[in-house]
Amino acid sequence: MSGISSKAAGSLENKLKYNGKEQQDNEFSDGSGLEWYDYGARMYDNQIGRWNKTDNKVELYQNITPYAYTANQPTNAIDPDGNVIIFINGLADKANQGNSSYWRYTTTTTYNTVTHRNGAHHSREHAFDEEVKKQLGDKKARYYDGSVGGESSWASEPDKIFSGEPGSLSSAFRSNAGYQEGEAQAAVIIEGLNRTGGVITETIKIITHSMGAAYGKGFVRALKDYIKTLPTTLQKQIKITLVADFDPYQADEITADPDIKTMQFKHANFWNIIGLGWLANEDEKGLDKKDITINSGKSTNHEISSFSNDISSLSEGTYKWNGSKWVKQ
């Protein structure tokens, strides 16, 4: 069998082995390594048949050791490799509404003619959503349009303000639209969460930008209302662990959920510079100063690309079950 194995002469290295997980090796300068398998949430040492840490969802398994694998049912269950992240975009044209393209952008670098012949250009594609997934240890995502029509409806919005007709410029309108969509999607989202041994082991996180923040607040309310209708045993398994709002539009008109860790990111000067300090430079209601990151020295741009440096600070909150709901600690 050695002739067709991974050790055969001329064969390509295959790191995806046990359970299809990547084996981490050759980490050290002398060519040696730990030989652990990367399960995303934790590492597995198959040399001793042990995990190097407890399960991140240990509070859901009160009758199972926190070092167990798939609730001791490896024949019909797999270890989840991520959670689910819900991305809600801001103002966008039709092609970028409710999909990953809104979160992708390209940067171009022009090199010095001294070091690069003819002053060469180099373009690099970036994926904000993929970086968020990597930071939070997720691989699953869902996308929604938080601008309720995007640029296609923007031209008529000023007229709606004077006529009293609700439109996407109204934070209340976007919040209600988010609630309606969340209400329609809640059962699908919950049903799609990974389960191990029949127990839900995934968390839900909401990432918004600009106009999507108000929409996201309604979306979260709808999810919570739906979860309340489920049996208590199920409610104890479902957690919304993070809401991250990047440069939320009309932030002072929306309120952070007190039961969910909420992070707000904004730039200090952009909207003030052009005389619209009220637009995307306010603080959300219900947030402590420690939950708001102001990038005064990094950028004056409203685009999601200008917040790439903040991705590394994203983290889920910690929660405690109080008998009827999860409470942020």
What is the model's pLDDT at position 159? 47
**Comparison of pLDDT for 13 and 119, the residue scoring more:** 13
User: Tell me, which fold does domain 84-100+132-328 have in CATH?
Assistant: Rossmann fold (3.40.50)
Annotated domain spans of the chain: 84-100+132-328
Phi, psi at residue 278, to the nearest 5°?
-85, -15
Q: 250: Cβ–Cβ under 8 A, 6 or more apart, which residues?
A: 171, 214, 278, 279, 280, 282
The mean predicted confidence, pLDDT, of the chain is: 81
Q: Whole-structure pTM over 0.75, yes or no?
A: no
Secondary structure (3-state) at 317: coil
Burial classification of residue 318, based on how many CB atoms lie within 10 Å of its CB (0-12 exposed, 13-18 middle, 19 or more buried): exposed
Q: How confident is the model at residue 278 (pLDDT cuts 50, 70, 90)?
A: very low
Give mean pLDDT, residues 238-267: 95
Got the DSSP string for 254-268? -B--TTS-EEEEE-S
Give mean pLDDT, residues 263-280: 66
What is the model's pLDDT at position 272? 52
pLDDT tens for each residue of 16-62: 777 777 888 777 777 678 888 887 778 888 888 888 888 766 655 55
pLDDT(121) > 80:
no
- Taking alpha carbons only, the member of 135, 87, 130, 127 closest to residue 104 is 127
Q: Which of 27-41, 68-82, 214-228 has the highest mean pLDDT?
A: 214-228
Q: From residue 195, give the alpha-carbon distance in Å to each of 71, 77, 185.
A: 10, 8, 19
**Comparison of pLDDT for 93 and 127, the residue scoring more:** 127
pLDDT(188) > 50:
yes
Helical H segments across the chain, by residue range: 128-136, 151-154, 157-163, 171-191, 212-228, 232-235, 270-273
